[in-house]
């Protein structure tokens, strides 16, 4: 029987070159859990791992038991649900690792560079820096798919980390993903995959502009100097209050965008 999302602990094939292993760490911010993507060209013994996920021994053991050497591990961004298991994964598999941040680079390699093309496991993987969710967010472009990390999720919308996430950068990243993603599957770090990255990216862009208009309208009611949580309570009153702290982070980015 063909597997469908979510399939915890089972390698689910999505495209000719990409399969996913879903970590059992569901939550408000992780949706069903973290998707660890396993990439390999047909006939290749080696694979590339995208985001080994949280510090979960069962999940990390499942990755290491997939068979064949891990030629390279790539990280989409710094958050713990993507990188918590990295050191243990590197130790178990012997894989080198690369990310935009030096903190997550292992094996004597260099940090990722925008536009570079990585050749591993029989694949050509283009690096696309897509800041916004975090400053160090990257996506990876294959011939038939785009791995979007947390820049675009399989369902819902992305929180902008107020420490270094920015709306102007994020909108530009979404435009880049729409441009490269036409006709290519979207493989997110959380939630189900989608058949066309361009369509989802454009829907995200429209949603962000709708939210901006709602924030503008809220400021007309609350005053130009309204605090982020005041705006959250006005604009996001229809969502679970447990998500308000995350919404506050995105609202801070929206207010900064409008005030700049």
Encode pLDDT of 166-221 as tens digits: 899 999 999 999 999 999 999 999 999 999 999 999 999 999 999 999 999 999 99
Helix or strand (DSSP H, E) at 90:
helix 86-93
Per-residue pLDDT at 164: 87
Give the start-to-end residue ranges of the domains of the chain: 12-198
Per-residue pLDDT at 137: 98
The one-character DSSP state at 104 is G
Q: Report which of 81, 15, 10 is spatially closest to residue 52, judged by C-alpha positions.
A: 81
25 contacts 55 by C-beta, under 8 angstroms = no
Cα dihedral value 111, 54, 49, 68, nearest 10? 130
List, in sequence order, every beta strand (DSSP E) within 40-86.
Answer: 47-50, 70-74
Look at residue 44 and give its three-state secondary structure: coil
Per-residue pLDDT at 68: 86
Q: How is domain 12-198 classified at the CATH fold level?
A: Metallo-beta-lactamase; Chain A (3.60.15)
Q: How far apart are CA 137 and CA 170, in angstroms?
A: 10
Look at residue 147 and give its three-state secondary structure: strand
CA angle 150, 139, 71 (to 5 degrees): 110
6 contacts 36 by C-beta, under 8 angstroms = no
Per-residue pLDDT at 2: 80
Q: How far apart are CA 173 and CA 209, in angstroms?
A: 14
Residues of the chain with pLDDT under 50: none
Per-residue pLDDT at 125: 98
Quick one: tokens of 133? 């969710």
pTM exceeds 0.85, yes or no: yes
Cis peptide before 53 (omega within 30 of 0): no
């Amino acid at each position: 029987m063909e597997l469908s999302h979510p399939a915890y602990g089972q390698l689910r094939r999505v495209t000719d070159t990409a399969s996913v292993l879903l970590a059992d760490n569901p939550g408000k911010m992780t949706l069903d859990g973290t998707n660890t993507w396993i990439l390999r060209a047909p006939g290749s013994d080696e694979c590339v791992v995208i985001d080994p996920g949280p510090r979960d021994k069962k999940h990390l053991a499942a990755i290491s038991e997939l068979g064949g050497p891990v030629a390279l591990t790539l990280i989409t961004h710094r958050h713990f649900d993507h990188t918590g298991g990295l050191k243990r994964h590197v130790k178990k598999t012997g894989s080198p690792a690369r990310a935009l941040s030096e903190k997550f680079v292992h094996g004597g390699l260099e940090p990722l560079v925008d536009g570079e093309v990585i050749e591993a496991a029989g694949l050509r993987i283009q690096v696309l820096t897509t800041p916004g969710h975090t400053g160090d967010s990257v996506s990876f472009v294959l011939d038939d798919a785009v791995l979007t990390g947390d820049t675009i999720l399989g369902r819902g919308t992305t929180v902008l980390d107020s420490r270094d996430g920015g709306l102007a950068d994020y909108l530009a990243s979404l435009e880049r993903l729409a441009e490269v993603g036409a006709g290519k599957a979207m493989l997110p770090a959380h939630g189900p995959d989608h058949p066309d990255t361009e369509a989802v990216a454009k829907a995200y862009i429209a949603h962000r502009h709708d939210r901006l208009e709602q924030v503008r309208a809220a400021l007309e009611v609350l005053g130009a100097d309204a605090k982020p949580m005041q705006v959250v309570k006005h604009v996001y009153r229809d969502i679970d209050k447990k998500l308000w702290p995350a919404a506050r982070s995105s609202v801070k980015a929206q207010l900064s965008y409008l005030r700049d």
